[in-house]
A and B are shown apart, each in its own frame.
Chain A
């Protein structure tokens, strides 16, 4: 992974000192809240429902064990012993005190971490495929490109005050595991006409109040021109994006108002006029950054491990967990392991300091010191020898972390909702827990198969409800929490926005409504058909009838 050089260290230390001074000036009265607010947001510090919330950047979801242990320590010392992994692959602490923030930032800087640009109208943490450098279907590791974009966008003078926040995701694999079509810019690494790798560039995707699937602005961009082309997109957005209406300020609105062809013409014209060599990274610098991401040395091992095979035969719980949470690796004899943070009864995406410490230990012991955060709010050990899987599983079982529900119904994405968030209209965590309880039986989840259920506590859609095969949106209707259900969304290559199925449900009726939807799917599905395939074949009618009755 990337290691800070002297410049990075000095930059982050200076920023910590600067914010320490700003906090002191706020506490002394030299700064009013109005003056302080934009400064704290620039450092990832929000004032939420119960307390201050600190959002820590986890660049493209990559951590080492030292960093994860430091997060555990911060949670224990300055928070309430747990944090929340987000759909932006970041970590949020919900109960930090303003007076402690300078110490927390200094502790983060010790392990090459910070909170810069985790809020504000700037380029946010670039997200990526959590299985980067491990997935069998990967064309190229997206992480070096994320790092290049991170360095380029950090305090970029032209793009620090955009009309609105700006999110970029990169996938280097055949399957989109980074929801690229729902980002302001989505980048897919693809083969070009001469067989060389480059980027397919999507623009104008997003969720929130007005969701859009990103549209292709370029089918192939030579990769050496990534920075200059992204810069042209951002320049056009910065010039023409709306600043008069916060709800219409994202690039998706501009792209869709102009139309993709007009937007493309404007970007290409800017790009033509750009002095590309002044912006694009020189080849030797690209190679320098890429050298940090050399995959760990994975000595060759037999593809089949007899003890592992025997355990799968003899232990049904292990076999079930293995089926869903162990993913194929590009190197025979290895696997990527999903550590589910979705055990029924838990808040999806929350991890205690003890969990973080344990996962750090396991990463050192079994996983070449690497941990990834998936945007679906789970943790991943990307490089584990298959022979070590039983021992790893046993350690996870002991900690209550061996829930075998990756990509099943229980693997819900869920935002903090009204339990924590100032913007939320309704709670999402208790609903997720009730649904998890109802579908607790692994055999039932197995029968249902792969199904993405996403839930947000407000229209801002941090819980990606638009992209859920089943989406749940909490709204406030005259003081009552009401839940609107959408069907047919997808975050993957067949990206789609879910369709509202009908009137909303009161909180206590939501689990039964999900049950009814699932039963309708099971009754209507053809053999081997996924939920999405059935939905696309049969349409809304049977689901509506099951939920609301005929007529």
Chain B
């Protein structure tokens, strides 16, 4: 199953993904996808370095599905994180992203 690496940015806690260019992106679309266990391990090692360098905290791999090039989280929890707000609730106040 394909995986991407997610975390929270240290300075503001915002949800981020390890991107193809080695940076951390708020957009899951930019996430680097690991297709095998070995690739996932390699991304985790890279992410642990980012933890040591104080870019991010709470690193973990998460399962995704690839649908016509789009990276879709499998769990409700990760869909909500990726949306940076709930996926189904529009609120009465305007929540800037």
Residue numbers of A with Cβ under 8 A of B are: 26-27, 29, 33, 47-52, 80-82, 97-99, 343, 345-347, 350, 352, 418-419, 426-427, 429-430, 433, 479, 481
How many Å lie between the Cα of A346 and that of B8 in the bound state? 28
Q: How far is the CA of A27 from the CA of B13 in the complex (A)?
A: 13
Give residues 76-97 of B contacting A (CB, 8 Å).
Answer: 76-77, 80-81, 84-86, 88-89, 91-93, 95-96
In the complex, what residue of chain B is closest to A433 when comparing beta carbons? B89
A429/B86 contact (C-beta < 8 A), A50-B14, A80-B96, A97-B11 known:
yes
5 additional contacts (CB under 8 A) given A27-B10, A51-B14, A479-B76 = A47-B8, A50-B14, A345-B92, A427-B80, A427-B89
Docked CA distance A98–B11 (Å) = 5
**Measured between C-beta atoms, what is the minimum distance from A480 to chain B in Å?**
8
Closest to B53 in A: A29
A-facing residues in B1-52 (Cβ within 8 Å): 8, 10-15, 51
Can you give 13 A-B contacts (C-beta < 8 A)?
A47-B8, A47-B57, A47-B58, A49-B15, A49-B77, A49-B80, A50-B85, A51-B8, A51-B12, A51-B13, A343-B92, A347-B89, A347-B92
B residues with CB within 8 A of A: 8, 10-15, 51, 54, 57-58, 74-77, 80-81, 84-86, 88-89, 91-93, 95-96
Q: Evaluate contact between A429 and B93: CB separation under 8 angstroms.
A: no
Chain B binding surface SS class: loop
**A50 and B15 contact, Cβ closer than 8 Å, known pairs A347-B91, A429-B86, A429-B89:** yes
A82 touches B10 (CB 8 A): no
**How far apart sit A426 and B95, CA to CA, in the bound complex (Å)?**
21
B57 cross-chain contacts in A, Cβ below 8 A: 33, 47
Hey, which chain B residues are within 8 Å of A345, CB to CB? Answer: 92
Chain B residues within 8 Å of A27, by CB = 10-11, 54
Contact A52 B10 (CB under 8 A): no
* Chain A residues positioned under 8 Å from B93 (CB to CB): 81-82, 350, 352
Contacts known (A80-B95, A429-B89); A97 close to B13, Cβ less than 8 A: yes
A157 to chain B, nearest CB (A): 30
Contacts of A33 in B (CB 8 A): 51, 57-58
Known: A27-B54, A50-B14, A51-B14. A427 touches B76 (CB 8 A): yes
CA distance A99 to B74 in the complex (A): 32
Residue contact B11 to A427, C-beta cutoff 8 Å: no
